[in-house]
Structure 1
């Protein structure tokens, strides 16, 4: 008996270090770290979980110690079940499945009503992403927004416009008080102060917000995951819904958190752990370039057009007689003329198509403004439409490129520069985010610009110097793409940075901030605009601090690969000598591919002229 006891003791003493070593190895497994949402170690911070909710951890220091959390999870899984839904296998079903696979252990059977309901809701669902294009009404949405998307398998007979409405979206967003001021909102978003959560909602709620209210196009990205991967990921989503996370606009955002979640079942690093910013576009490009089990991870993309784009497509699909009839029926915001001769002479089928377009436009106006007689106009249009036969099927449209197929957001360029005052030199330009009026496209917000942290460095025989530091430049040249009545819209621009006071001086800098508003007009391939407002500037070089400013220009799209921007600005310098300053510049871009372009630029102010030609690389 004593010999048996000694043998058992010896085996336990040998087995204990083995078990401990195995647990230590498991605790550093990439999937275990993904289950805990441990961010990769960076030079600036030690690894820790991005989840700050104590309910997510079973160990007291589980947020910082993955091995302690693993040991606590194993201990909890081995305990007999108590109340329904309280067992660790109910609270953390993905951990339970993963650890059972790794250790071979089976956990006590437990009743998990909430998880069973979740599984029933998402059984056989496909996992993908839903991307909403950029929205300039909210700084956190300048670069777009991405959501996890769980959908039932689609059939070929499904309507492409309605098949997603009953699906489920998991949205990651900050918890921002309704009365938060803009300055506080920006400061907390950039430097910390908000918590964020994954929330679970039917997709029709999101399409009502993004497509109908904010007029943002949506793109569905379907991923090629195995059944086992989808099952594990679905179980993990149950674990994280409603848990509090760290949040920062640029790095700890929807893109980075969804990337870390997908890395549970995808071996590749979908976003760099060291980058100071992660945009949804970065994640979508990484997914499109990832191979999974020897096949492309991205199976297909599908556009879900906004109400704005749907109306535009329907109007453009009308023939010229129908378009004139639509204008005759609804010539102004509060004026509807159902007896317009140009409309009544059309066939019943043609009138149906005109009314379908006008009803779509009424839905657009309902979301974008307040028109006094709009409810009555909608009633009359609907009454007339119901008396006519079924119209056309969905409008056939030319396929638009998805965001991962167009020019990437980061840019570096090298230019040769000639200045009439300082002769020849070179210029290096770097823009980490996002696009300007010359390289914007339909996959982003058309006729807009969002540039963040642009740096330009000059070098010539006099040395190296700063040319410009653009902190941000946000421009929105609102235009009406169809000839139907709309509410007045304002074109606007806000920008801030440091730039040269004049072209003839290498080291004469001013800090500036522009706030401008005005109007733009769509004239075929040309987009003229006129803006007025103010420029705030530092007082160095005696130019005064408050400067009224006028700006006018035109953006011309000659072809998909060539675009020109001509800009004229005028401001009086109130203060030192009341000198009037008028400056103008011409920029022309030739796209060589989605990753390369050439740019030509000519600038003029009262002190000098400057011309440049350069090659740009997008990445």
Structure 2
């Protein structure tokens, strides 16, 4: 019945299901006993029509009340046909990694895969997905707002798994992690029968807690009652925490990594010299260059690598949209040449760190420091979720920052604690560019912070920009434009716009993360302000880190320096 045992603050003691069609009693959403009585009365008679709607309910009650019926669903033609088609002997939790360019997938996603057998092809499997029923006309900001406010209904859907591979791995270039669940056949059958009961049934959908991951935990709880997956209060249900919850309760028996097509292409690229990479990229635009002297001078194996890389690149960048005759012709020419050259196998991808092995998604920090050489301070910080650029990258997407609801209180010797910063959201994607991939790096953030305007005061702001980032071994420079809208009581207008640049350099090696950067804005009221910072983070344990920073906040003709040392504790 999906009754909330206290896992979320909303609807405690009531069913999460927000659809009258699911309940047989008038007050079934609020009164489980009334729903039990109504269900028993409706399902006990032979050939009761409601058996066809609720096969899992019937089996549950028949087992407890000892109802005798050898063919309880013989009259259920639609259900029997569906059940014959949906067969599975293995359940796999699938975790497509984070995809920052999709608001609903910034934290990653989870779905279930139902395999027909141990040796069956995954292309024949079914995928169980829970998601918001949204309109394609909704823009990204509107989607985020409605997702946070519960403005969308959520539904389960059962689709061929091959569609999800195409969507996540091919279309969105997302790596996928697959976790085989330790469920026996009877438990899998419970899960499948309950899925039929949930067909076209609406739940409330909330981006932070009642989301895809939370609903899948409910499904596993149906399959294995008493697994205690929903006993703890959840302010936010991040997909990686779903994997951790299943792993902590020994419900995962095997893990498999499936790289995206973009990762496979990058592995091919790394096998070639810069000169060969350049020629391979040109071949994708003009296969006629296979007749050039530069190409013909290369050995057969080098030719095969360049042609294979050009072909895979051409297919990758043209995977969306209508079929282009010119692209199809070039692909055929390259493919024909590939068949004439030695076979090139895509280098095996070394499995990256599994996402569940990373640090916790919440963070509590204590810090002390000094501002302008004579003002000592102490700080207490809390972040609801999730990860910033300097946190330990083990298990996380490189160059990605997703922070939500971060709070910092500061106390000095001369005053009471006061709000120093409130980050509502801070998202940053620094995706490196290379000859074959040229993603846009971007960021957006907003909230409250203390900034100089006659004195340090609390201002409200929204800020963002876009540009480029490049990988140079362990170094990653970036350069972004930056636009800022600020509500400042010292400014004449309600909202004051500013523009500038955000530039910096990241260094990542093992447990050490370094960043030096500067961002400055020139406002339309002739105010100029910039902030520069050097920060270093040492992850001395999985859930603990030390961070030191030296920063300067400057304005026309003046500025303040600040040093801070912070201990950070991460937890789920």
In the superposition, the TM-score normalised over structure 2's length comes to: 0.90
> Is residue 448–residue 476 contact of structure 1 (8 Å, CA) maintained in 2?
yes
Is residue 336 of structure 2 the alignment partner of residue 383 of structure 1?
yes
Is residue 247 of structure 2 the alignment partner of residue 288 of structure 1?
yes
Offset, 1:235: 1.5
Distance in 2 between the 1:326 and 1:369 partners?
26
Alignment correspondent of 2:144: 186
Alignment correspondent of 1:355: 307
Is residue 517 of structure 2 the alignment partner of residue 589 of structure 1?
no
Offset, 1:555: 3.4
Q: 2:420 aligns with which of 446, 467, 470?
A: 467
Name the SS of the counterpart of 1:397 in structure 2: coil
Distance in 1 between the 2:293 and 2:402 partners?
46
Alignment correspondent of 2:234: 275
Distance in 2 between the 1:406 and 1:362 partners?
35
Q: 2:365 aligns with which of 408, 413, 427?
A: 413
Distance in 1 between the 2:240 and 2:550 partners?
32
- Note closer, same or farther for the CA distance 1:344–1:409 as it changes in structure 2 (3 Å cut): farther
Distance in 2 between the 1:149 and 1:525 partners?
36
- Note closer, same or farther for the CA distance 1:500–1:326 as it changes in structure 2 (3 Å cut): closer
Deviation digits for residues 203-250 of structure 1 (CA, Å, limit 9, x no counterpart): 111111111111111111111112221221222122213221111111
Alignment correspondent of 1:561: 511
Offset, 1:491: 1.8
Offset, 1:535: 0.9
Distance in 1 between the 2:267 and 2:541 partners?
27
Name the SS of the counterpart of 2:99 in structure 1: coil
Counterparts of 1:76-91 in structure 2, within 5 Å, are 76-81=42-47, 87-91=49-53
- Note closer, same or farther for the CA distance 1:552–1:374 as it changes in structure 2 (3 Å cut): farther
Distance in 2 between the 1:213 and 1:68 partners?
47
Distance in 1 between the 2:180 and 2:142 partners?
37
Name the SS of the counterpart of 2:188 in structure 1: helix
Offset, 1:285: 1.0
Is residue 330 of structure 2 the alignment partner of residue 330 of structure 1?
no
Counterparts of 1:4-153 in structure 2, within 5 Å, are 36-41=1-6, 45-81=11-47, 87-107=49-69, 109-111=72-74, 112-153=76-117
Offset, 1:421: 5.6
Range with bigger deviation, 380-389 or 268-277: 268-277
- Note closer, same or farther for the CA distance 1:372–1:564 as it changes in structure 2 (3 Å cut): farther
Deviation digits for residues 181-207 of structure 1 (CA, Å, limit 9, x no counterpart): 445433322112211111111111111
- Between structure 1 and structure 2, the one with the greater Rg is 1
Alignment correspondent of 1:18: none
Offset, 1:543: 7.5
Name the SS of the counterpart of 2:91 in structure 1: strand
Name the SS of the counterpart of 2:547 in structure 1: strand
> Is residue 425–residue 447 contact of structure 2 (8 Å, CA) maintained in 1?
yes
> Is residue 328–residue 340 contact of structure 1 (8 Å, CA) maintained in 2?
no
Q: 1:510 aligns with which of 449, 453, 459?
A: 459
Is residue 443 of structure 2 the alignment partner of residue 493 of structure 1?
yes
Offset, 1:511: 0.6
Alignment correspondent of 1:260: 218
> Is residue 440–residue 446 contact of structure 1 (8 Å, CA) maintained in 2?
no
Offset, 1:519: 2.0
Distance in 1 between the 2:356 and 2:253 partners?
14
The size of the alignment, in residue pairs, is 559
Distance in 1 between the 2:14 and 2:294 partners?
68
Offset, 1:61: 2.0
> Is residue 325–residue 340 contact of structure 1 (8 Å, CA) maintained in 2?
no
Counterparts of 1:217-232 in structure 2, within 5 Å, are 217-232=175-190
Offset, 1:389: 4.4
Distance in 2 between the 1:568 and 1:247 partners?
39
Distance in 2 between the 1:504 and 1:406 partners?
43
Offset, 1:498: 0.6
Alignment correspondent of 1:537: 486
Name the SS of the counterpart of 2:124 in structure 1: coil
Distance in 1 between the 2:14 and 2:497 partners?
49
Distance in 1 between the 2:325 and 2:507 partners?
37
- Note closer, same or farther for the CA distance 1:374–1:593 as it changes in structure 2 (3 Å cut): farther
Range with bigger deviation, 187-196 or 537-546: 537-546
Range with bigger deviation, 372-381 or 245-254: 372-381
> Is residue 188–residue 194 contact of structure 1 (8 Å, CA) maintained in 2?
yes
Distance in 2 between the 1:183 and 1:353 partners?
42
Offset, 1:71: 1.3
Distance in 1 between the 2:125 and 2:101 partners?
26
Name the SS of the counterpart of 1:600 in structure 2: strand
Structure with the largest fraction of strand? 2
Deviation digits for residues 563-615 of structure 1 (CA, Å, limit 9, x no counterpart): 2111111222432xx34323201111111122111111111023311111121
Structure 1 residues not aligned, in runs of 5+: 1-35, 291-295
Offset, 1:341: 4.3
Q: 1:580 aligns with which of 513, 524, 528?
A: 528
Name the SS of the counterpart of 2:27 in structure 1: coil
Name the SS of the counterpart of 1:137 in structure 2: coil
